[in-house]
Amino acid sequence: MPISEPDRPVPEALLDQQRGAGRGKLKVFLGASPGVGKTFAMLEEARVRQRAGRDVVVALVETHGRSETAGLLASLEQLPRRTIDYRGQTLQEMDIDALLARRPQLALIDEFAHTNAPGSRHPKRWQDVLEVLDAGIDVTTTLNIQHVESLNDVVARITGVRVQETVPDEVLQRADEIELIDLPPEELIGRLREGKVYVPQQVGRALENFFTKGNLTALRELALRTAASHVDADMLTYMQANAVKGPWPTQERLLVCINEAPVARALVRAGKRMADRAKIPWIVATVVTPRHEALGEEARAATLEALRLAETLGAEPVTLHSESDAASEVLAFARARNVTRIVIGRPRRRWPFGYLREPVSDRILDRATDFEVTVVAQHARIERRRILAAAELPRWRQWVPTLAETFAAMTASTIIAWPLAPYVPLASLAVIYLVAVSVVAFRRGLAAALAASVLGFLTYNFFFTTPYYSFAVEQDEAVVALLVFLVSAVFTGTLASRLKAQVDSMRAAQRRTETLYAFARKIASARKADDVLWAAAAHIAATLNCRSLILMPDASGTLEQVQGHPAIDELDAKSEGAARWAFEKNEPAGAGTTTLPTSEWLFVPLATASAPLGVIGVQFRERGSGLDPETKRLLLAVEDQVAVALERFTLAADLEDSRVKAEGEKLRAALLNSVSHDLRTPLVTVIGAVTGIAEGDEALKPADRRELAATALDEARRLDRYVQNLLGMTRLGHGALEPKRAAIDLREIVGRVRGDLQRVIAGHTLAVDMPRDLAPILADPVLIGQAVANVIENAAKYAPAGTSIGVAAANTGETVTLTISDEGPGIPSADREKVFDLFYRVSKGDGAPAGTGLGLAIVRGLVEAHGGTVTASAGPAGRGTAIAIVLPRADEVVVPDEAK
């Protein structure tokens, strides 16, 4: 028998356990109905823990006027409540900020399903609880079974009362411990009679119906089952985490297909129960087709709401897109995701059009031969009414042009048909009307198509069937013709209107693709991160017809507006809070979400895989539009592109940074080398010569003494020039150099330099060729003097003694060119650009003349600071080096005669 490999724990299960480590623990006291004593049990347990040394705080507990409860409460520390004024009413809510600041080990928060007063941070108390848990504080809370989201339908069916305040199952599943407070129904009814039970408002009306023995028994069973299934789930996690072998279900999935039909929410809840029972992950999918896009806002909102519900119940919400065949799209998706069970709703057959095409659910049933398909009946009368009541009729403004066009089309048809009537058969005239109906249908949609059909029918009947000018019909033949016309008109109209819907949807899709493509192109060509952000803000604003913002943290971590379309002055405190939330928790917040929904802005995080970058904010022109799948898709696409683009910039900047750093390192090494060598060499001579003079005393011959002094002086002067160059370079490097320009005569500069360099050029002859009419240049005389001096000094250093150094100048258009040439060894053409680099020297080693590699670099720096250029080339006769400095000339000025 082979030895089996030790069973490994499932990583996800370990992660789940790990995740709980930094978070507070949640304990829920679950009851079947009000009055079973949950709050009392919670307080008693808290007292026990407090005596055991735990730091316990009552964040919010309602006594409902019961003295026993109040007595227990008195011995515990209570947090003051926050008072909120809402439309003249004073409401009291839990003060979550005070609780987070107080940081107890355990907080008691009553009534898990409570809905907070408008204007609170979260709409629901369970969201407050999650935040408290995230802060590492343990929480105990209480909950009645009818407030569990997935049981909502069931409870409504049992009791006939639908509870509005619900807690998502997902949240309940996060509870570390669930304690069931059980009370036999008889005893509860007894307590109710004695007035010991506080009756919540929503139950009050249905009091007689609610607290019946049958109801309570059913609810008790539900509560017991929920608590038991939680124990099951705990066991499962434990088994997986500890690699206990067991009969694991393969990774199957359940897929719930929904559309805008009112049954959607019920389908989602049914799916949740099925998935829970089978303990498999589940997906809720909707398919967006052109038909769906043609639907009204209300219908789309219904789908959206169902998807949101699915998300809170723990499903993965998915939006699929299909041009025509929704069924095959669903099935392809199901196969790709390893779905084994599909849940669909029973199709609605609405007269007359529902019968014209096969419903999607039927097509799924036909083709899903390899799936287990469950068809759920409609139990959604209440919700359907609501939806129907809410569905607005199109506004009269839209009806007026539609009706006008319909009338016009029919009148035109009649005018065309009238003269033809005597010559063509009656039935042919109908075709003219059919064409008109198609045109109206294509232009104005289904409703107009139907109106046109009826109007066309009446007109045709009135004008062209006997008796003329009456709606009465005489002949049987005409009756048939009329009926055929009506049916054809309705069909043509329907088809044409669907065609219109399809075309509209394709156009919309094309527009989206085009704008997204344009956006991608724009940010691909962006040169700065700012451009990317600007393009993103503009794109979002244009595509979603909203105002958009991009916020990013500044150096101190405060979120700052970096782009706005249009830019806004300041966000209100609530929106700022939502932005901060979205940034810190990396999830959407603000309008249309469950966090700070009263904010006017919706914020979604902008993050790369490695780090959060900021948040994108959108403010829709119409309140209430929120994060529907389309918007979400667009924001995700933009976010992706922006993140990638920004990452590109960051990487490029990093690369540039390291390149600059490397360059800097190289320069530093060169500078260190230069300083240690070039600074010390002259000092060696100076110190040597001066000590010779100082210590040689009488022994030194006067001629030797003079020789030593002269040597020391030369070297000291060289050192001075070197330090001067280093200083010059530093000033150039820091941009501290500001030429004080004036019109100057280059000949004067040369004259001055010549005087300064007397000793340096003593061994050479200086051949100056500067014409009298040389134009003045616009330059700083001192700086240009230094540049010229450096070039001449360089020439004297490299050219052998006795040769001549040429200094020539010429007017060259808008510039003046000064060329200094020598008869030295010259610069190889490959090195002619490099000689202007810092610390670059053509010949190296000890045999080379003492130099610093700074001189020509400074020349270039100085000349370029004046808007001039400097280049090296071969000397006049092809020998030596010629350095040409080109400087801008100054404007000629006229001196008035009296000033001469």
Return residues touching another protein (CB under 8 A): 716, 720, 724, 727, 731, 740, 742-745, 747-752, 754-755, 768, 770, 772, 776, 780-782, 785, 807, 893, 895, 899-900
Distance CA 335, CA 42 (A): 48
* CB 179, CB 160: distance < 8 Å: no
> Residue 797 Cβ, how far from another protein at the closest point, in Å?
20
SS3 736: coil
Maximal CA-CA distance, the chain: 154
What count of other Cβ atoms lies within 10 Å of the Cβ of residue 445? Answer: 21
> What is the Cα 102 distance to its own chain's centre?
34
> Residue 718 Cβ, how far from another protein at the closest point, in Å?
12
* CB 886, CB 815: distance < 8 Å: yes
> Residue 898 Cβ, how far from another protein at the closest point, in Å?
9
> Residue 720 Cβ, how far from another protein at the closest point, in Å?
6
> Residue 839 Cβ, how far from another protein at the closest point, in Å?
22
Taking the least distance from each CB to another protein, the nearer of 437 and 749 is 749
Please report how many Cα atoms fall inside a 13 Å half-sphere around the Cα of residue 481, on the Cβ side: 21
Taking the least distance from each CB to another protein, the nearer of 528 and 900 is 900
> Residue 679 Cβ, how far from another protein at the closest point, in Å?
15
SS3 484: helix
Distance CA 597, CA 626 (A): 10
DSSP per-residue codes, 274-324 = HHHHHT--EEEEEEE-HHHHHS-HHHHHHHHHHHHHHHHTT-EEEEEE-SS
> Residue 810 Cβ, how far from another protein at the closest point, in Å?
14
Taking the least distance from each CB to another protein, the nearer of 565 and 721 is 721
> Residue 749 Cβ, how far from another protein at the closest point, in Å?
6
> Residue 662 Cβ, how far from another protein at the closest point, in Å?
31
Please report how many Cα atoms fall inside a 13 Å half-sphere around the Cα of residue 717, on the Cβ side: 12
SS3 353: helix
Distance CA 199, CA 33 (A): 10
> Residue 794 Cβ, how far from another protein at the closest point, in Å?
19
Taking the least distance from each CB to another protein, the nearer of 728 and 880 is 728
Taking the least distance from each CB to another protein, the nearer of 573 and 893 is 893
> Residue 748 Cβ, how far from another protein at the closest point, in Å?
4
Taking the least distance from each CB to another protein, the nearer of 52 and 899 is 899
> Residue 765 Cβ, how far from another protein at the closest point, in Å?
12
Contacts of residue 305, defined as CB under 8 A and 6 or more positions apart, other chains included, come to: 265
> What is the Cα 338 distance to its own chain's centre?
31
Taking the least distance from each CB to another protein, the nearer of 208 and 898 is 898
DSSP element (H, E) containing 232:
helix 213-241
Taking the least distance from each CB to another protein, the nearer of 661 and 717 is 717
Exposure letters 198-217 (e unless 16+ CB within 10 A, then b): eebeebeeeeeebbeeebbe
The token pair that represents 386 in the structure block:
């609501």
Taking the least distance from each CB to another protein, the nearer of 8 and 740 is 740
Taking the least distance from each CB to another protein, the nearer of 718 and 841 is 718
> Residue 714 Cβ, how far from another protein at the closest point, in Å?
12
Kindly give the interhelix angle for 855-865 and 702-733, rounded to the nearest 10 degrees: 40
> Residue 692 Cβ, how far from another protein at the closest point, in Å?
18
Contacts of residue 622, defined as CB under 8 A and 6 or more positions apart, other chains included, come to: none
Q: Burial of 318 by CB count in 10 Å (0-12 exposed, 13-18 middle, 19+ buried)?
A: middle
Helices (H), 629-698: 629-674, 680-696
Contacts of residue 579, defined as CB under 8 A and 6 or more positions apart, other chains included, come to: 551, 559, 571, 589, 590, 601, 603, 615, 617
Taking the least distance from each CB to another protein, the nearer of 48 and 782 is 782
> Residue 893 Cβ, how far from another protein at the closest point, in Å?
5
Taking the least distance from each CB to another protein, the nearer of 252 and 745 is 745
The phi, psi pair for 704, rounded to 5°, reads -65, -40
Contacts of residue 891, defined as CB under 8 A and 6 or more positions apart, other chains included, come to: 743, 778
Taking the least distance from each CB to another protein, the nearer of 141 and 725 is 725
Distance CA 808, CA 815 (A): 14
* CB 31, CB 38: distance < 8 Å: yes
Bridge partners of residue 814, in order along the sequence: none
Among 12, 74, 71, which residue's Cα sits nearest to residue 237? 12
Taking the least distance from each CB to another protein, the nearer of 614 and 776 is 776
> Residue 690 Cβ, how far from another protein at the closest point, in Å?
12
As a three-state string, the secondary structure of 529-547 is HHHHHHHHHHHHHHHHCEE
Distance CA 698, CA 514 (A): 97
> Residue 743 Cβ, how far from another protein at the closest point, in Å?
6
Taking the least distance from each CB to another protein, the nearer of 778 and 883 is 778
> Residue 737 Cβ, how far from another protein at the closest point, in Å?
10
Taking the least distance from each CB to another protein, the nearer of 441 and 732 is 732
Distance CA 750, CA 779 (A): 14
Exposure letters 802-830 (e unless 16+ CB within 10 A, then b): ebebbbbbeeeeebbbbbbbbbbebbeee
Taking the least distance from each CB to another protein, the nearer of 281 and 739 is 739
DSSP element (H, E) containing 564:
strand 559-565
Taking the least distance from each CB to another protein, the nearer of 76 and 890 is 890
First-to-last CA distance in the chain? 121
* CB 157, CB 151: distance < 8 Å: no
